């Protein structure tokens, strides 16, 4: 690059206060690729084939993309509403997938997709269930609480302050992974996809009423079976 050289670039940001413009020449190095990426509207549905699976995400060959390139990418959290240990638990190389376009980066020559965006959010049926009681399975212990699964794809956090009146220092003193326990829904946050649970102030009658039951196979059936206290 030299003074006086003419460049083709893409404006990526404008700072009106400092009167500065940020531009990217790399975004225009391959006009064919850039044109294809700009044609991928955010929120639109696109098809592709999984090229490779890694611990950080999945690369996908999109239908219609320039030959010899692989521009589709799916981050691990965008593969499924279910908790997965590795992207390979959700997809495999060679698999055909359909995802929603959530971001396009012309500088990197990449289109980010989400499979989860086209799947029903399993937390939605629980939106109005604050105060309800059901059973769940302890899936993970952490220093400040425990995660409890109450239906497929629906896990809530029970903080150390919600085990009993006096906060516990170690949730392992109260429960173990795999335990089935009776819990109450404290809060459902659909925006952040968070569920807050508690076992405090559950009457003995409520605890006995769920003894021996198992979490339902689907979030809808689980929501329909709850009792309110």
Q: What is the pLDDT of residues 111-145, one digit of tens each?
A: 899 999 999 889 999 998 888 998 999 999 999 99
Rounded to the nearest angstrom, the gap between the alpha carbon of residue 111 and the centroid of all alpha carbons in its chain is: 18
**The model's pTM:** 0.66
Return d(Cα 61, Cα 68) in angstroms, integer: 9
Which residue did the predictor score with more confidence, 52 or 3?
A: 52
Q: What is the largest CA-CA distance in the chain?
A: 83
Q: What is the pLDDT of residue 14?
A: 54
Decide if pLDDT at 24 tops 60. no
| pLDDT per position as a tens digit, 186-226 | 999 988 888 999 988 876 544 433 333 344 444 445 555 55
> What percent of the chain is modeled with pLDDT above 70?
76
Q: Sorting pLDDT into bands at 50, 70 and 90, what band is 69?
A: confident
Beta strands in 64-144 (DSSP E): 72-75, 96-105, 110-114, 132-142
- 109: pLDDT confidence band, cut at 50, 70 and 90? confident
Question: Contact at 8 Å (CB) between 30 and 67?
Answer: no
Question: Between residues 170 and 17, which one has the greater pLDDT?
Answer: 170
In the numeric block, which tokens belong to residue 163? Answer: 């085990």
**Mean pLDDT, residues 21-37:** 63
> How large is the C-alpha radius of gyration of the chain?
24
Question: Would you call 77 helix, strand, or coil by DSSP?
Answer: helix
**What are residue 80's DSSP bridge partners?**
none
């Amino acid at each position: 690059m030299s003074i006086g050289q003419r460049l083709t670039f893409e404006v990526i940001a404008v700072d009106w206060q400092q009167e500065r413009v940020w531009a990217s020449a790399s975004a225009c190095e391959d006009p064919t690729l850039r044109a294809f990426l700009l044609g991928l509207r955010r929120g639109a549905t696109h098809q592709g084939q999984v090229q490779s699976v890694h611990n950080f995400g999945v690369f996908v060959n999109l239908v219609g993309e320039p030959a010899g390139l692989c521009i589709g990418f799916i981050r691990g959290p965008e593969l499924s509403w279910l908790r997965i240990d590795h992207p390979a638990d959700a997809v495999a190389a060679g698999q055909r997938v359909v995802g929603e376009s959530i971001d396009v980066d012309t500088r990197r020559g990449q289109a980010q997709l989400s499979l989860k965006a086209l799947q029903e959010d399993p937390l939605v049926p629980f939106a109005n269930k604050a105060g309800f009681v059901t059973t769940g399975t302890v899936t993970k212990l952490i220093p400040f609480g425990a995660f409890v699964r109450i239906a497929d794809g629906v896990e809530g956090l029970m903080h150390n302050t919600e085990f009993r009146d006096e906060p516990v220092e170690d949730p392992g003193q109260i429960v173990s992974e795999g335990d089935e326990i009776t819990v109450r829904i404290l809060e459902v946050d659909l925006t952040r996809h968070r569920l807050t649970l508690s076992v405090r102030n559950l009457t003995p009658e409520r605890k006995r009423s769920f003894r021996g039951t198992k979490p339902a196979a689907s979030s809808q059936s689980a929501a329909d079976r709850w009792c309110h206290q």
